[in-house]
Amino acid sequence: MSDATTQTGGSGAAAAPAATPKTPAADTPAAGAGSVIAIKVSFELDTMDGLRKVFFGLEKDVKGTDDIWTIHFQLQERTAATGAFVNVVTLDVLVDEPQLHPAAAAAAANGLTPPQTAHAIGPAADDAKGTTTGDVDPSDANDTIKSTLKK
């Protein structure tokens, strides 16, 4: 499922006769105002054995001129392919490395690549699960989850 919202600025008020110049209204965006695009997508990834499910969500917000990307990562597991999934861990990871933003945008637009999918359900899920047992430091798990975008 994905949501995309676009807001665009206008070019101001229509031209008035030369003798009586018109000032744009206070609620009219200035000429050349940029676009603000907010994106939120989520991918459901299942392992071949049906025992593990990962939800890998990407969300983009814009604050001023800065893009802010967040990964919403959730791991669910079950002990048998016919059993119910149980939530193991949910993590929100800020993508604070601007060099990863183009990869986040590509994944949001086109879906995860096969190497990204394999990394998300493998090493990223393993490290995320390790945060629940104390075997993995949360900052290390966050780095592993972010590195999914590099694959």
State pLDDT tens for residues 2-57: 333 333 333 333 333 333 333 334 443 443 355 556 889 999 999 999 999 999 99
Exposure of 145 by Cβ count < 10 A (0-12 exposed, 13-18 middle, 19+ buried)?
Answer: buried
pLDDT tens by residue, 89-124 = 999 999 999 999 999 999 999 999 999 999 999 999
60: Cβ contacts below 8 Å, ≥ 6 apart: 37, 38, 39, 40, 67, 68, 69, 104, 105, 108
pLDDT value of position 127: 98
The first and second tokens of residue 36, run together, are 């603000």
The first and second tokens of residue 8, run together, are 């665009």
Note the pTM of the prediction, 2 decimals: 0.74
Residue type, 111: G
Q: Are 2 and 40 in contact (CB under 8 A)?
A: yes
137: Cβ contacts below 8 Å, ≥ 6 apart: 131
Asked if residue 133 has pLDDT above 90, the reply is yes
The first and second tokens of residue 6, run together, are 């676009």
